[in-house]
Structure 1
Amino acid sequence: MKMFNWAYDVFKSLDFSDVVSSYLNLAINVVVLIVVAYILDYLFKKIFIIFLAIVAARTKSSFDDFLVANKTAKYLAHLVPLLFIYKTVPVILKNFTYWEYLFEKGIKIYIIILSLWITRSIFNSLRDYLKQKPRFSDKPIDSYIQVIMLFLWLFGIVSFVLILFDVSKTTLLTTFGSISAVIILIFRDTILGFVASISVSVNDMVRIGDWITMEKFGADGDVIEINLATVKVRNFDNTTTTIPTYSLISDSFKNWRGMLDSDGRRIKRYILIKASSVRFINDDELNTFRKIQHLSSYIDHRQADINKYNISNNVDKSVIINGRNLTNLGLFRKYINQYILSHPGINKDMHLMIRHLQPTENGIPLEIYCFSKDKTWVNYEHIMADIFDHIMASVSHFDLEIFETISSSKDLK
């Protein structure tokens, strides 16, 4: 009982009026501070946004228009109430040392975050501005901006740690060194993407607008975006494929830029000639083949050389296999060559040849290798189809056959 009486006397002797009054005044001051800061933020946000919009409307450059679009004025307006709070709070908290210490840390962290927001907004505006310039339209601007912002955010995170825990820079660097393996494991994709992004940019491996093919990821279309982690490809079927940036240097892919920058697009396709349809041409048939305009001069010249060789070597032509002879496949090959040379859609200054490939169980591949002048996909396909339509329709005129697999009872008859 005596112990309770003693505790009651002690509690009665304490005067809480000053403590309550101090905290009450603090609460009122904090509420007034928040209200004034909100009003200042609202007013200056309107002023900055309107001012920047007027400036953007009156200038010829579109950079300030992008500043408006990326809300740079809004972030800059936050600096005014921040400055007001920074100057006012030390006065309000002069009797609350601990709270003033915490506030100082909080305001420093907010300054760092706001600075990063403002910087990001300006860089995003710069990115949008450069993308509309023809000189930079094919450059991976997103990757450059992301790399810069990555370094700035890392600097910001380090600053947060230094401020929050009052850690020295030396101690922080030592700690980071100790846990570097964990950091590399966690940020592996980011680090690989960062290295790949720099490599892709420096070596000019891929640009915005390039047509690339990467079978591993099912990508076949135009590159529409290159950033730190991914490359976006709009495929020709209007789907979008996302490729990890690092894959561009670790895996194989095809970039069609060289073809688009060249003077022609390659046509490389063959038809299968039935081997049993290949034969020698006798003299009686030459007059018929001479009527083909693309062959008349060639037959005269070639037959003169053959006759000269056969006579000089006393070749017995009673057997057609003796000596040198023209073949229907050889004439057909020369005909195709002359026909393609006369085609208006073919670039005659680039490689052009008609060649035999290794005979197969399906026949003799006769390959057409040339380059079309027009590299546009649709026109290229039209030129190639036009050539092969003519070639396949011409085969029978040389008493040749195209190999076809027997696929129905009708074919067996």
Structure 2
Amino acid sequence: MNTMNQETAQLLQQIGFEKSDLNWATQVVLILGILLMSYLITLIFHHLIMPAVRKITARTKATWDDYLFNDRMMKAFCRMIPPITWYILLPFAFDEKSLYLLHILLKASLIYLIITALMLIKCFLDSLYEISSEHETLKNRPLKGIYQMINLIAIGVGFILIISILIDRNATAILTGLGASAAILMLIFKDSILGLVAGVQLSANDMLRPGDWITMTKYGADGYVIEVSLTTVKVQNFDKTITTIPPYALVSDSFQNWRGMRECGGRRIKRSLFIDMTTVHFCTPEEVNQFVQKGWITAPTEGNEPPVNLHVFREYALKYISNHPEVNHNLMQMVRQLQPTTEGIPVEIYCFSNTPDWIPYETLQGEIFDHLIAMIPEFGLHIFQRPAGTDFQPNEKNEFITSK
């Protein structure tokens, strides 16, 4: 600061002024002139340079410059003009007798400049986030937490610089002193540090993207990811409630991501019909002829045992889903018999819809099973169902018998 004061004195001497001759009236005039000059420079930048930059960016084919030189960025840069002007010109308005006041005003200008620089950095990071949100490769990456961490680091550096200005100490000396309290700082910023590390892992391993449908039972999350920030991951559940999850929990715990289902273009149908085992039998000649006429089986050769009605039903069900227009025929289709249980023989239908959307999927699933349940009696089979009160009716002796 002494060097600056000496250079200012030499400059004033060259134009015919002596700093020692400055009275209070001259100082007031000079200060008002400096304030007026900073105002005029800001006005020129706001009304001439900013519109010119807008016109230039509007003519370019690239879109990134529209974000980097948007109104927020230009206004943030405009806020830096007054403190820069004050810091450069204020030494001209003070003599050696007013160095203490000049020292305070220069400190205030520097602090103001640091604050406006932090605001510019935040606007710059917001613009970067908007650019990455539009980019095909980056838009699905959880980058918001990384930008927030960079902004937090910038705020920390700015805070240290402000402290160093206020106490007239070098910033490195303050950083050395903070090293002793690193454990306390890590405790204070534990969630932010863990969130940053988790965000990098989620992004690097492509584990999570905004828009993914995830399920995490531990936190009651079952819905779409709407935001991935430094400290929270917001999930909008299907009942429109919002669940917040710490990012590091997604790395340390297990969660289910349904993105693969959407990318494959289909949603799995995996449901069973339980067949009453007592209705499974070899087909009678009449049933064989009926099935052959309907095209469900080919006529058996002489000497071969007749087909089993359950096998005919499985072949029919597979042919039905294979020809259904809303079933995705590029993915697996299967009708299989599972381990018999006390509830009957499970016959599982396994296929995929041609859309991952929920409502069309449920409509298709209902349509398939409505049809198969209605067709089961055609094969001499019955669905296993536990008896209800209406299945028992009293006879003349008031003895309850089944209604079948």
Confirm or deny a common fold (TM above 0.5). Answer: yes
Provide the residue aligned with 2:347 in structure 1: 366
1:158 to 144, 157, 160: 160
For 2:160, give the aligned amino acid.
V
**Is it true that 1:182 corresponds to 2:163 in the alignment?**
no
Provide the residue aligned with 1:353 in structure 2: 334
Provide the residue aligned with 2:87 in structure 1: 86
Q: Distance in 2 between the 1:59 and 1:399 partners?
A: 74
For 1:58, give the aligned amino acid.
R
**Is it true that 1:382 corresponds to 2:382 in the alignment?**
no
Change in 2 beyond 3 A, CA 1:55/1:247: same
> Normalising by the residue count of structure 1, what TM-score does the alignment of the two structures yield?
0.77
Secondary structure of 1:96's counterpart equals helix
Q: 2:141, 2:210 within 8 Å by CA — same for their partners in 1? A: yes
Structure 2 counterparts to residues 39-188 of structure 1, below 5 A: 40-67=41-68, 69-94=70-95, 95-168=97-170, 171-188=173-190
Q: 1:264, 1:375 within 8 Å by CA — same for their partners in 2? A: yes
Change in 2 beyond 3 A, CA 1:235/1:55: farther
For 1:247, give the aligned amino acid.
A
Q: Distance in 2 between the 1:24 and 1:138 partners?
A: 62
Deviation of the 1:293 alpha carbon = 1.5
Provide the residue aligned with 2:379 in structure 1: 398
Provide the residue aligned with 1:318 in structure 2: none
Secondary structure of 1:222's counterpart equals strand
Structure 2 counterparts to residues 252-267 of structure 1, below 5 A: 252-262=254-264, 264-267=266-269
For 1:101, give the aligned amino acid.
H
Q: 2:335, 2:350 within 8 Å by CA — same for their partners in 1? A: yes
Q: Distance in 2 between the 1:44 and 1:285 partners?
A: 91
1:341-394 alpha-carbon deviations (Å, 9 max, x no partner):
333333445333222333334333221112233334333333322221211111
Provide the residue aligned with 2:17 in structure 1: none
Deviation of the 1:326 alpha carbon = 4.1
1:222-258 alpha-carbon deviations (Å, 9 max, x no partner):
3333222223334445554433322221222222222
Change in 2 beyond 3 A, CA 1:55/1:349: closer
Secondary structure of 2:300's counterpart equals helix
Q: Distance in 2 between the 1:70 and 1:104 partners?
A: 29
Change in 2 beyond 3 A, CA 1:34/1:411: farther
Secondary structure of 1:52's counterpart equals helix
Change in 2 beyond 3 A, CA 1:186/1:381: same
Q: How many equivalent pairs are there? A: 371
Structure 2 counterparts to residues 157-236 of structure 1, below 5 A: 157-168=159-170, 171-236=173-238
Instruction: Report the aligned-residue RMSD.
Output: 3.2
Provide the residue aligned with 2:392 in structure 1: 412
Task: For structure 1, list consecutive stretches of 5 or more residues without a partner in the other structure.
Answer: 1-20, 307-324
Q: Distance in 1 between the 2:161 and 2:237 partners?
A: 43
Secondary structure of 1:98's counterpart equals helix
1:16-70 alpha-carbon deviations (Å, 9 max, x no partner):
xxxxx98888777656655654454345333343333333443333334334545
Deviation of the 1:190 alpha carbon = 0.8
Change in 2 beyond 3 A, CA 1:64/1:350: closer
Secondary structure of 1:146's counterpart equals helix
Provide the residue aligned with 1:286 in structure 2: 288
Q: Distance in 1 between the 2:55 and 2:320 partners?
A: 66
Q: Distance in 2 between the 1:282 and 1:341 partners?
A: 27
> Normalising by the residue count of structure 2, what TM-score does the alignment of the two structures yield?
0.79
Change in 2 beyond 3 A, CA 1:350/1:81: closer
Change in 2 beyond 3 A, CA 1:199/1:356: same
Between 1:64-73 and 1:177-186, the stretch displaced more is 64-73
Q: Distance in 2 between the 1:275 and 1:230 partners?
A: 53
Q: 2:233, 2:247 within 8 Å by CA — same for their partners in 1? A: yes
Q: 1:209, 1:224 within 8 Å by CA — same for their partners in 2? A: yes
